[in-house]
Amino acid sequence: MNKEKRTAIIAGNWKMNKTASEAKELIESLIPLVKDAGCTVIIGVPFTDIAVAVDLTKGTNIHVAAQNVHFKDSGAYTGEISPRMLTEAGVEYVIIGHSERRQYFGETDETVNLRARAALAAGLKPIICVGESLEQREAGVTEEFVCRQVVMALLNMTAEDLANVVIAYEPIWAIGTGKTATKEQAEEVCAFIRKVVEENYSKAVADALTIQYGGSMNAGNAADLLSMEDIDGGLIGGASLKPNDFAVIVGAASK
């Protein structure tokens, strides 16, 4: 991390876990554990948990994210949630383009861009996920693949827009598998993402961009990963459901 240039962010992605009552219990346990955090703390909760999460985190240093958003303000899109619905509910951030959304629900680079731009227009801050599969890594096309994802995700965004964007590098092969990229592997791709942004915008914009690592970061490896120059935080899966573990990761990002 380089806190002189950018904000360190630890965001929990709860995925499809926790009912509203379970969310209440988890958040109440988490609040005192992270109250002195020296980084931005976010919890990405299921839609049905948003109301309780926003209510419980009022007056705390915890911010609430949704896990997806549609790119229209309203319309015949059964099952979708609009940007305006999220902002009125008190949501500040939204996770977009997670590999599970791409794999199971047909997200594409194009729809990721539409969702991210709609989120920005509504005053939300998108956390845009990118990352390669094991096959792509072994074929030596990681940079080519991630470059396309980043460029397409940021298409038609201004430098001013990027001040409210977070990019999360999540190698698909390290999500929920127990495998983790080495700190050098993670740093290499995060640095490459920053280079892509510099080439498409400017060094100043790239230097200010928060880039998270999200491949099975946990309480045991967070400090090592966060010691790298271009890793500015984490998008945390399983460990975000364990308040004590999540607090350890927040603590590592607070140093």
Tell me which residue range forms the domain holding 101.
9-253
Q: Is 170 labeled as catalytic in the residue annotation?
A: yes
H or E segment and range at residue 139: none
pLDDT of 134 reads 86
Q: Is residue 108 in some structural domain?
A: yes
Q: Is residue 220 in some structural domain?
A: yes
CA-CA distances (angstroms) from residue 88 to 56, 91, 158, 235, 244? 16, 7, 25, 24, 31
Q: Is residue 69 in some structural domain?
A: yes
Q: Is residue 183 in some structural domain?
A: yes
pTM confidence score: 0.96
Q: Which of 63, 70, 98, 132 is catalytic?
A: 98
Q: Is residue 4 in some structural domain?
A: no
Q: Which of 100, 107, 132, 170 is catalytic?
A: 170
Q: Is residue 2 in some structural domain?
A: no
Query: What's the CATH code of the domain at 76?
Result: 3.20.20.70
Domains contained in the chain, number = 1
With 80 as the cut, is the pLDDT of residue 82 above it? yes
Q: Is residue 3 in some structural domain?
A: no
Q: Is residue 72 in some structural domain?
A: yes
Between helix 50-57 and helix 20-34 the angle, nearest 10°, is 30
Distance from chain centroid for Cα 33: 21
Confidence of residue 2 (pLDDT cuts 50, 70, 90): confident
Q: Is 92 labeled as catalytic in the residue annotation?
A: no
| pLDDT: which is higher, 215 or 183 | 183
Instruction: Dump pLDDT digits (tens) for 154-177.
Output: 999 999 999 999 999 999 887 767
